[in-house]
Amino acid sequence: MTATTDGSPGSPTHRTPSASSTSEPDPVPPGATEAAARRAVGHATDHLLARQHADGWWKGDLETNVTMDAEDLLLREFLGIRDDKILAASARWIRSQQREDGAWATFHGGPGDLSATVEAYVALRLAGDDPDEAHMSLAAKWSRGEGGVAGSRVFTRIWLALFGWWSWDDLPELPPELIYLPKWMPLNIYSFGCWARQTIVPLTVVGAHRPVRPAPFGIDELHINPEQPSPKRRKAPITSWDGVFQRLDQVLHVYRRVTPRSVRRSAMNACARWIIERQEADGCWGGIQPPAVYSVIALHLLGYDLDHPVVRAGLDSLDRFAVWPEEGVRMIEACQSPVWDTCLAAIALADAGLPADHPALLKSADWMLGEQINRPGDWSVKRPQLAPGGWAFEFHNDNYPDIDDTAEVVLALRRVAHPDQPRLDAAVERAVRWNVGMQSRNGAWGAFDADNTSPFPNKLPFCDFGEVIDPPSADVTAHVVEMMAALGLEHDPHARRGIEWLLAEQEDNGAWFGRWGVNYIYGTGSAVPALAAAGLPASHPAIRRAVSWLRSVQNADGGWGEDLRSYSDQEWAGRGHSTPSQTAWALLALLAAGERDSAAVERGVRWLTDTQLEDGSWDEPYFTGTGFPRDFSINYHLYRMVFPLTALGRYVRDEPFGAGHPGSAAVAAAGGSTGKGA
């Protein structure tokens, strides 16, 4: 067992993590920091080039938490396709992630999570671990102390219901007839974020069938009171939204009992068609594991046998989410990120000084050009007249291109001197038109859909598994603005509205909230370079407030870090162990703000050069990516490479906005730092 405790900065024993230090840094000979940065850039460039796939792409492991591994094993058990080798290898990974107190966390160094612990526990029971073994007894005791199974999330209890460990009657109801709601009506499937709708549609089928395939053991030890596993919960007042939706759930339970069979059958068939129409070329759904798992179960319950081509392809796709970090150990990725990793790697290498016509950049550009999506997807429900042209995150996900990837791919492509420039220019033009067309009414951009801001989906009792809508965010909006600025479109009305929205969204402390990365450091590291590239001077009050905040949260060791708990507790904002990616994000913002010669930048650069490993990479066990704030966290294993290389490359080349951006030369000509030595 690899024990992890809750002793990170800000834990009960270290409630105030170290941030800015008033002590003077050790004296550094003139030019020594820049020389070290140049050496680090060379080593990191070599390391990243060596990791490129022969086809031109990069992909790092995408690590989340053990619920992915547990649910993979539960799926195999439910379908009767148990594989003892896979079961043993996955169990080794699950055991290795257990904390000393018996729980499992959802991110490195984080607190124990009840749902993750319950799912890990039952998966290990399937693997043959005895409840009397020390690690199992400790996990059960911890779970009971946190409320037992009854306190776990709805999705966890759905998995338990599949095996008879929980009653379907004690789960929220969501009927398959939801598929019939018109697009203008609240709670229609398109009012959910794309990841949620892909999960909810198959789960309505599963909930309608209420299957039970009894497990060979019970889990009474996970209940506070096995005689009454589901205690009655007090209803919220009818005058509150929680009270309204609790009573709506009661109505839906009654509706289930009176629904005509023909209506129910028709609705489930409509769900099946919706699911099958969205299966990708590789057999997956949306390129992410959870919808694929539930879609396979739903279709199987509807009579599709395991050898049916649709189900077979779905099962095969799930095998591709498996990573074997060492012999006999198997970890499941929730998703794979080749497009995202490739565009970020290309940007990093170009900004580090790799020639624009270098074979590695040309191969990456060719691969990215081949991945552009030129057909409509679910996004076209809100934008039916908009021509396609975006990129997705994964290898295969034509239904759900995203605005963030598209912006970063464009930023990568414009750094490449491609031999077929008209082809590249045409792809960029399509991408920019699509991204601009996905702007929401408030002037900002979400990740996958426009105006996906209904307040109702998050209030359903069924939807306690994380964010289920896709409102605009500062980091995505910043990347679109940065893309437009790089193409000379910073004065376009769409860009100006995005800039105005960003300025209005700045927090009182000077930071920006980071939706898809942790958290305020990511948001600020995205917003400042975008605003500066779009023409805001370094003296602008918004830029100065951001610089002041970043200085205030710099750790004593010179790096920056932020714990995921900042999504729930403002005391954690900008606080945590220094990490390579978060240090790089802070440096990118400071460099864009004209702070190249400041003490803060020098100390941050020194932290990166001092912590670089011999092979040119960095170590980063902490999770700095975000799936759902507060609920689902990600460790992108390539972040530790691409972002430090980007920041160090811009530092040594004195190009604060990256390779070839005209704003870089303007900042350098203006004398660089506005806060020298501060």
Question: Which residues have C-beta within 8 Å of that of residue 114, sequence separation ≥ 6?
Answer: 103, 143, 146, 147, 151, 152
- Quick one: 420 and 315 in the same domain? no
Q: What is the spatial distance between Cα 466 and Cα 457, in angstroms, rounded to a whole number?
A: 11
SS3 271: helix
Residues designated as active site: 404
In this structure, is residue 506 part of a structural domain? yes
Contact 587, 74 (CB under 8 A): no
Phi, then psi, of 112 in degrees rounded to 5: -60, 150
- Quick one: 305 and 386 in the same domain? no
- Quick one: 168 and 268 in the same domain? yes
In this structure, is residue 450 part of a structural domain? no
- Quick one: 285 and 404 in the same domain? no
- Quick one: 346 and 280 in the same domain? no
- Quick one: 516 and 605 in the same domain? yes
Would you state the pLDDT for residue 255? 82
- Quick one: 328 and 373 in the same domain? no
In this structure, is residue 451 part of a structural domain? no
Q: Which of 299, 332, 365 is the last residue of a domain?
A: 332
SS3 319: helix
Q: What's 89's domain CATH number?
A: 1.50.10.20
Q: Which of 332, 363, 393 is the last residue of a domain?
A: 332
In this structure, is residue 516 part of a structural domain? yes
- Quick one: 524 and 592 in the same domain? yes
Nearest of 494, 485, 474 to residue 542 by alpha carbon: 474
- Quick one: 307 and 360 in the same domain? no
**Looking at the 3D structure of the chain, how many domains does it have?**
2
- Quick one: 324 and 421 in the same domain? no
In this structure, is residue 16 part of a structural domain? no
In this structure, is residue 80 part of a structural domain? yes
- Quick one: 368 and 494 in the same domain? yes
pTM over 0.75: yes
Would you state the pLDDT for residue 11? 40
184: domain range?
Answer: 64-219+230-332
- Quick one: 428 and 556 in the same domain? yes
248's enclosing H/E stretch is: helix 241-258
Nearest of 133, 161, 97 to residue 221 by alpha carbon: 133
Contact 110, 621 (CB under 8 A): no
In this structure, is residue 468 part of a structural domain? no
Q: Which of 271, 305, 332 is the last residue of a domain?
A: 332
Q: What is the mean pLDDT of each run of 10 residues along the chain (678 residues)?
A: 41 38 56 95 98 97 96 96 96 98 96 97 97 98 96 95 95 94 92 93 96 94 84 74 76 87 95 96 91 96 96 94 94 96 98 97 98 96 96 94 98 97 97 98 97 89 80 98 97 98 98 97 98 96 98 98 95 96 98 97 98 97 94 95 98 89 54 38
In this structure, is residue 517 part of a structural domain? yes
